[in-house]
């Protein structure tokens, strides 16, 4: 990215040095993994109908992903695989236990919420794509001045050459091949908000892919997404960016992503898409899970239901972040995301002094 012309501020040099040093130190592991597993990965047979959980970031996709991955008949990309994609197979028994100890001390929960952080937990596979290539919007957290470019190119896939698109597909397939091998060939359930804007490309890879779209109140999505940027950017950025610029991007990107989804969901074959409101999933997760399985024609709900019940019970004490829903936020969401309020059936709020005290609760998103 730096070679492509991105600039780094001098005060972030230690951060770049730390990442570069870690990359250098782990290069022998990546070489060993290629030598040992390269052939098997090239021949790995991916399930023709993986399950993709989509929806804007902070819409509740993580909650659904973690719940669905309790089905023992499904595989997934783990947090370890996403963080260490170059040596996740060879490092499963050696590197992973060491990483688990370090992470357990430094980050017992995710930075953006109180969800326990485990290397075995399901994770968004785009982290692995970002760790091994240029082809991910997640690089916007390192180079936030280029956020609009990353979003346009690697979420909406606008303006990509055929060669670059082919390389993205190859990179993505490699990530899924490694997860498939690690999962013993099981069908994968994958959570990737960026796929909300690139349904056509996903269908080119997997014509029979299954999709679950999760929506959530746009007011809450805005507040939670802003908190995400406020939390992650100070720990990852190599460039400074103003809060106003971040907020403008949030408003622009959500609108573009949802409009692309609404335009492209018709590409998905009948019976391969189920839409879920997070509020319904949170209120009655088992009923919604049964509806998802039936709607997509997925086998095994009855077998998996006890595991779903156990997971729901285990997170019953989850404590949410709280944000104030201000008049300014209401006005911005109404102006820029009003179409989404109408599409998903959320009531449109109106600014008033009383609403300044209303609290929006964060979720396992």
Question: What SS3 string covers the chain?
Answer: CCCCCCCCCHHHHHHHHHHHHHHHHCHHHHHHHHHHHHHHHHHCCCCCCCEEEECCCCCCHHHHHHHHCCCCCEECCEHHHHHCCCCCCCCCCCHHHHHHHHHHHHCCECCCCCCECCCCCECCCHHHHHHHCCCCHHHHHCCHHHHHHHHHHHCCCCCCCHHHHHHHHHHHHHHHHHHHHHCCCCEEEEECHHHHHCHHHHHHHCCCCEEEEEECCHHHHHHHHHHHHHHHHHHHCCCCCCHHHHHHHHHHHHHHHHHHHHHHHHHCCCCCEEEEEHHHHHHCHHHHHHHHHHHHCCCCHHHHHHHHHHHHHHCCCCCCCEEECCHHHHHHHHHHHHHHHHHHCCCCCCCCHHHHHCEEECCCC
Please say if the pLDDT value at position 283 is more than 60. Answer: yes
Q: What is d(CA 147, CA 161) in angstroms, rounded to the nearest whole number?
A: 19
pLDDT at 360 over 60: no
Q: How confident is the model at residue 353 (pLDDT cuts 50, 70, 90)?
A: low
Residue 358 has pLDDT above 70, yes or no: no
pLDDT at 26 over 90: no
> What pLDDT, on a 0 to 100 scale, did the predictor assign at position 359?
44
Segment 4-11 mean pLDDT: 74
> Mean pLDDT of all residues in the chain?
92
**Residue 75 burial by CB count (10 A; 0-12/13-18/19+): exposed, middle or buried?**
buried
Domain chopping of the chain, boundaries:
41-321
**pLDDT (tens digit per residue) in 292-345:** 999 999 999 999 999 999 999 998 877 677 888 999 999 999 999 999 999 999
What was the pLDDT predicted at 104?
80
Q: Please give the pLDDT value at position 127.
A: 97
Are 227 and 112 in contact, with CB atoms under 8 Å apart?
yes
- Model pLDDT, residue 356: 47
Lowest mean pLDDT among 36-40, 133-137, 143-147: 36-40
User: What per-residue confidence (pLDDT) applies to 39?
Assistant: 85
Homologous superfamily of 41-321 in CATH?
A: P-loop containing nucleotide triphosphate hydrolases (3.40.50.300)
Q: Report whether pLDDT(5) > 80.
A: no
Q: Give the per-residue pLDDT at 4.
A: 56
Q: Which residues are CB-contacts of 261 (< 8 A; sequence separation ≥ 6)?
A: 54, 196, 197, 199, 213
On the question of pLDDT at 364 being above 60, the answer is: no
Query: How are beta strands 51-54 and 359-361 bridged, if at all?
Result: unpaired
Which tens digit of pLDDT belongs to each residue from 97-108? 988 888 888 777
Residue 12 above 90 pLDDT?
no
């Amino acid at each position: 990215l730096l070679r492509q012309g991105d600039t780094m501020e001098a005060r972030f040099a230690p951060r770049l040095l730390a990442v570069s040093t870690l990359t250098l130190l782990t290069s022998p592991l990546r070489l060993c993994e290629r030598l040992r597993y390269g052939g098997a990965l090239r021949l790995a047979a991916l399930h023709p109908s993986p399950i993709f959980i989509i929806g804007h970031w902070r819409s509740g996709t993580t909650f659904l992903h973690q719940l669905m991955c309790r089905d023992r008949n499904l595989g997934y990309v783990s947090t370890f695989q996403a963080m260490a994609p170059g040596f996740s197979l060879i490092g499963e028994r050696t590197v992973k236990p060491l990483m688990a100890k370090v992470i357990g001390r430094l980050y017992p929960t995710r930075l953006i919420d109180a969800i326990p952080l485990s290397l075995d937990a399901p994770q968004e596979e785009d982290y692995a794509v970002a760790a091994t290539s240029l082809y991910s919007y997640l690089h916007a957290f390192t180079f936030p001045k280029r956020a609009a470019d990353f979003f346009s190119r690697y979420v909406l896939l606008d303006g990509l050459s055929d060669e670059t698109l082919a390389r993205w597909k190859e990179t993505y397939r490699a990530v899924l091949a490694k997860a498939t091998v690690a999962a013993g060939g099981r069908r994968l359930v994958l959570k990737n908000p960026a796929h909300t804007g690139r349904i056509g490309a996903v269908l080119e890879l997997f014509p029979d892919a299954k999709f679950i779209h999760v929506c959530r109140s746009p007011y809450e999505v805005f507040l939670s997404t802003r908190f995400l940027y406020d939390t992650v950017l100070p720990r990852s950025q190599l460039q400074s960016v103003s809060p106003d610029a971040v907020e403008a991007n949030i408003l622009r990107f959500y609108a573009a992503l949802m409009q692309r989804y609404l335009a492209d969901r018709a590409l998905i074959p009948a019976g391969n898409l189920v839409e879920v409101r997070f509020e319904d999933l949170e209120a009655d997760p088992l009923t919604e899970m049964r509806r998802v399985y039936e709607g997509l024609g997925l086998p095994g709900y009855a077998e998996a239901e006890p595991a779903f019940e156990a997971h729901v019970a285990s997170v019953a004490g989850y404590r949410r972040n709280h944000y104030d829903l201000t008049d300014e936020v209401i006005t911005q969401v109404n102006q820029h995301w009003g179409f989404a309020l109408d599409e998903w059936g959320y009531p449109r709020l109106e600014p008033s002094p009383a609403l300044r005290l209303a609290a929006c609760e964060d979720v396992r998103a």
